Amino acid sequence: MLTINVPAQEFYDEKLNKFFNIHAHTLTLEHSLVSISKWESKWKKPFLSKDPMTNEQVIDYIKCMTISKNVDENLYNFLPEKTIKEIFDYVEDPMTATWFNDKKRPGGGRQIVTSEVIYYYMIALNVPMECQKWHLNRLITLIHVCELKQQNPKKMSKGAAMQQHKALNAARRARRGH
């Protein structure tokens, strides 16, 4: 969850030839599966895509992330660039100490990952539904960990198995003083 204090500001809209006063507001945002589901249902395109978003889509995603109540709609249109950067730094934050060597993520390859695909992984891997409100990157990491833990371990080569047995036997002998 990210909390941002937006100060009171006055803006001039050249198109409307009008001044706007934006009252100070504290925005509480949550980058979660719930947020991307809302955004995808409106835009009918995958959020987790390499295609760039338009300014309108960026602002709309910030709206979808907002869990604060009674936010002036004009506030979103006049968010400072610094605030938008802070929001997207939060979106990109891994939110976990877990890391992977393989960089493979759920649905790897060329599969298009939408919120429904992530919900599928949650159901298939028995991830509790309350995790849909977690930071999205943390949820995807959990899904990846669950996938890895459910895979059958790779069989050891005969040579490696012999080495392991040899080392265990040597350790046992050393413990017994032989």
Whether 8 maps to a domain, the answer reads yes
Output the CA–CA distances (angstroms, integers) from residue 119 to 47, 51, 113, 139, in the order listed: 14, 22, 10, 10
Question: What pLDDT sits at residue 174?
Answer: 79
**How many residues are given for the chain?**
178
In DSSP notation, 107-149 reads T-TT----HHHHHHHHHHTT--GGGGGS-HHHHHHHHHHHHHH
Among the listed residues 83, 45, 48, 77, the one whose alpha carbon sits nearest the alpha carbon of residue 60 = 77
| Position with higher pLDDT, 161 vs 131 | 131
| Position with higher pLDDT, 78 vs 153 | 78
Residue ranges making up the domain that contains 11? 2-92
Q: How far apart are CA 6 and CA 68, in angstroms?
A: 13
Cα angle, residue 94 at apex, residues 90 and 97 outer, rounded to 5°: 135
Whether 43 maps to a domain, the answer reads yes
Whether 137 maps to a domain, the answer reads no
pTM for the predicted model, two decimal places: 0.74
Whether 167 maps to a domain, the answer reads no
Residue 82 CB burial class (10 angstroms; 0-12, 13-18, ≥19): exposed
Whether 100 maps to a domain, the answer reads no
Whether 30 maps to a domain, the answer reads yes
Q: Indicate the number of domains in the chain.
A: 1
Cβ(121)–Cβ(106) under 8 Å? yes
How does pLDDT run across 10-33, given as a tens digit for each residue?
A: 888 888 898 888 888 899 999 999
